């Protein structure tokens, strides 16, 4: 953290970010930075998507954004960035299977809710996933891409989609009966 701080002071970097670190490691690094007057991490990039990974899912060295990290980011003001958000087109392309890491008891219910909300708002499932991430608390900024110009345009068009509180609540609580509290729009 001291070396990163020096790079900031020299004007070589504008902000510090980390990727694929456990929440506790990020918290420890930022505590050390704060204690020494150094610059902390201000952005964290991890794997993330609308479907929740099944318990024990293996992503190799990649770490999925967890509720714990979301809580820490909200508390500390760290920005979260998600990658692999569209599961390489699996939400919209029939020839792409949902990765096995996401095959869990709530996946079917979440996919059905996603399909229903997409039909309500007349946007693609990919666009709903992007809007849901951006409107979540904390917001998770999606890294988007496409192998074709049309795909990139579709993803960018998701910026125009604003989901209602009720749609956000349905999407967030789908497949998880423990989520009882309604999603609330900030005032």
Residue 33, phi-psi category: left (phi > 0), alpha (psi -120 to 50), beta (remainder)? alpha
Q: Report the DSSP pairing between strands 140-142 and 79-83.
A: parallel
CATH architecture of 42-173: Alpha-Beta Barrel (3.20)
Q: Dump pLDDT digits (tens) for 125-170.
A: 999 999 999 999 999 999 998 888 999 999 999 999 999 999 999 9
Q: From the CA atom positions of the chain, what is the Rg in Å?
A: 18
Confidence at residue 186, expressed as pLDDT on a 0 to 100 scale:
47
The Cα–Cα gap between 97 and 92 comes to 10
Confidence at residue 103, expressed as pLDDT on a 0 to 100 scale:
84
Give domain limits for the chain.
42-173
Q: Which residues does the chain have with pLDDT short of 70?
A: 177-187
Confidence at residue 177, expressed as pLDDT on a 0 to 100 scale:
61
Confidence at residue 183, expressed as pLDDT on a 0 to 100 scale:
44
Confidence at residue 106, expressed as pLDDT on a 0 to 100 scale:
86
């Amino acid at each position: 953290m001291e070396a990163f701080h020096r790079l900031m002071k020299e004007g070589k970097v504008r902000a510090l970010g980390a990727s694929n670190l456990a929440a506790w490691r990020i918290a420890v690094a930022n505590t050390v930075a704060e204690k020494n007057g150094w610059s902390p991490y201000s952005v964290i990039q991890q794997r993330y998507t609308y479907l929740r990974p099944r318990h024990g899912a293996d992503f190799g060295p990649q770490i999925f954004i967890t509720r714990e990290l979301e809580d820490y980011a909200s508390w500390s003001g760290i920005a979260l960035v998600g990658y692999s958000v569209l599961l390489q087109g699996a939400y919209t392309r029939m020839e792409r299977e949902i990765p096995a890491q996401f095959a869990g008891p709530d996946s079917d219910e979440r996919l059905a809710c996603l399909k229903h909300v997409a039909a309500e708002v007349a946007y693609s499932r990919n666009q709903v996933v992007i809007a849901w991430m951006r409107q979540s608390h904390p917001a998770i900024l999606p890294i988007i891409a496409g192998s074709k110009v049309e795909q990139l345009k579709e993803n960018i068009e998701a910026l125009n989609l604003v989901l209602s509180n009720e749609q956000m609540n349905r999407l967030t609580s789908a497949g998880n009966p423990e989520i009882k509290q309604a999603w609330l729009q900030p005032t």
